[in-house]
Amino acid sequence: MVFYRNNTEIYGYETKRLNEQVKRNITKFPDDFMFELTNDEVYMHDSRYNY
C-alpha cells in the first residue's frame, strides 16, 4: 500500500501530479492501479500505525 507521503520519494513527484497523469492516461493503467480510501479508512490506518 502506497500513500501520498511516499509518492515524492518513490516516483519523484507529488501526489497531485501522479493523480493528474492517471486521469489523463487512464487507459494506460491497470484497473487496480490505485484506489481512494474513505476518511474513516485513513483514520483507521493512521491510528493503527501512528503516522
The string of DSSP codes covering 4-28 is HHHHHHHHSS-HHHHHHHHHHTGGG
Mean pLDDT of 17-34: 86
Going by pLDDT thresholds of 50, 70 and 90, the confidence category of residue 24 is very high
Neighbours of 19 (CB within 10 A): 14
d(CA 16, CA 34): 13
Region for 49 from its dihedrals, namely left if φ exceeds 0, alpha if ψ lies in -120 to 50, beta otherwise: alpha
Going by pLDDT thresholds of 50, 70 and 90, the confidence category of residue 5 is low
Q: Euclidean distance between the first and final Cα of the chain, in Å? A: 14
pTM to 2 decimal places: 0.51
**pLDDT, tens digit, 9 for 90 and up, residues 34-44:** 778 888 888 88
